[in-house]
Amino acid sequence: MTKVLGLFGFGEVARGFYQTLQTNSHLDVRIKSVCIKNREKLRDLDPAVFTTEASELLNDPEIDIIVELTDDAEASYEIVKTALTAGKGVISANKKMIAEHIDEVATWHEQFEAPFLYEAAVAGSIPILHNLEQFFKQQEISSIRAILNGSTNYILSKMREEGLSFEDALQLAQDKGFAESDPTLDISGKDALYKLIILTYHAFGDIITDLQQVRLEAITNMEDHFYEMAKSQGLKIKSIATATRKNGKTSIKVQPELINSNDDLFEIEYENNAIVIDASYSGKQTFIGKGAGSLPTGSAVINDLSLLLSGFKYKKHPRKSILKSA
């Protein structure tokens, strides 16, 4: 039976999702309506499919699944909670909303029968949450070390490889759709921090809400001569997100780091993301993929949709030690 979707937002990620959906012959779904803020903006879809009334989607009994791809964290929270309460499955890419409400999100996985998936909120095209929920479920993870912001990584690559100024590299990232018109979350490190909070919950079962205890440093704090010095010595400056668990305690940080060619993240350039997971049995594994852009992020939404249709859902359960004591 065809599942009916309601889509919130029609920006970069939503258009990528829509485009990938049109070329996918395996999913028996259709989009009934798209809720947007501005009806007057020109879009390459039949105007009849758009509405500015969220209630038209949330209260429509024909709509089975809500795909929430807005950039408004407050609106996202209301949309997601209302849809779950109504029994509709939900997919979201709003990392700010999820991270800021991670304690409540954790209860939603238990409270609601309908699934709430959000792979696209973390690392673009990299299916890291699915791997944490499946492959790594039978292992203990000691650390996560990652490049989680494609916009920042793109800027740093352009500055280093082409000698661009920070302002010119940022403008280029915006022109290509890798950075938002307001890039504050990206360049401040907060975007990566939100993603790291989500990863920390799924990897360790820890809920981090006190951001005052987190070390957060922006790439804008680095002076130009630091980049020149690093390049002259064969080193690179990368904005790296780290979560470590030791003696039952988890610590997280996001900051620029000076790394050499032996580092797992040394060759990760431009809009690519990479996540290094160090686990008890498999050791270190590195996941690499595009972390920004319409189609790469849209592909994560498509994968969530496929998983949701198959009955997959996240579960609320702190990860407890699964290793037997000696």
| pLDDT at residue 323, rounded to an integer | 52
Which of 3-7, 132-136, 312-316 is the least confident region? 312-316
Q: Is residue 264 part of a domain?
A: yes
pLDDT in tens, 49-68: 999 999 999 999 999 999 99
Share of the chain above pLDDT 90, in %: 77
* 275 in the same domain as 151: yes
324: pLDDT confidence band, cut at 50, 70 and 90?
A: low
Q: Are residues 197 and 106 in the same domain?
A: no
> Which residues are tagged catalytic?
195
Domain count, the chain: 2
Give the tens place of pLDDT for each residue, 222-263.
877 788 889 899 999 999 999 999 888 899 999 999 999 999
Indicate whether 258 and 303 sit together in one domain: no
101, 154: one domain:
no
Give the domain range for residue 109: 3-124+295-309
Question: Please, is 321 exposed, middle or buried when counting C-beta atoms within 10 Å of its C-beta (0-12, 13-18, 19+)?
Answer: exposed
Structural domain contains residue 129: no
Q: Rounded to whole angstroms, how far apart are CA atoms 306 and 58?
A: 21
Kindly tell me if the per-residue pLDDT of 133 is higher than 90. Answer: yes
pLDDT of 32 above 60: yes
User: 214 and 252 share a domain?
Assistant: yes
Q: Is the separation of the CB atoms in 295 and 22 below 8 Å?
A: no
Pairing of strands 272-279, 141-147: antiparallel
What's the pLDDT tens digit per position in 99-116?
A: 999 999 999 999 999 999
Residue 156: inside a domain, yes or no? yes
* Confidence band, pLDDT 50/70/90 cuts, at residue 98: very high
Task: Specify if 253 maps to a domain.
Answer: yes
Q: What is the CATH number of the domain that holds 243?
A: 3.30.360.10
Residue 23 has pLDDT above 50, yes or no: yes
Q: How far apart are CA 11 and CA 100, in angstroms?
A: 22
Tell me, yes or no, whether 159 and 112 share the same domain: no
- Asked whether residue 175 falls in the same domain as residue 111, the answer is no
User: Does any domain span residue 161?
Assistant: yes
Q: What average pLDDT does this structure show over 277-288? A: 97
Same domain (yes/no): 223, 161: yes
Asked whether residue 274 falls in the same domain as residue 145, the answer is yes
Q: Are residues 184 and 100 in the same domain?
A: no
Q: Are strands 29-35 and 3-8 parallel, antiparallel or unpaired?
A: parallel
Strand duo 65-68 + 89-92: pairing:
parallel
Neighbour tally for 155: CB within 10 Å? 30
In a domain, 261, yes or no: yes
**Mean model confidence pLDDT for the chain:** 92
Exposure class string for 164-175: b at 16+ Cβ within 10 A, else e:
bebeebbebbbe
Q: Is residue 318 part of a domain?
A: no
How many Å apart are CA 162 and CA 30, to the nearest integer?
A: 44
* pTM summary value: 0.95
- Rounded distance between C-alpha atoms, residue 14 and residue 32, angstroms: 14
Mean pLDDT (whole number) for 110-133: 96
Residues 101 and 156 occupy one common structural domain = no
Same domain, 146 and 258: yes
Residue 34 belongs to domain with CATH number: 3.40.50.720
> Which pLDDT does position 326 carry in this prediction?
42
> What was the pLDDT predicted at 182?
86
Asked, for residue 272, whether it belongs to a domain, the answer is: yes
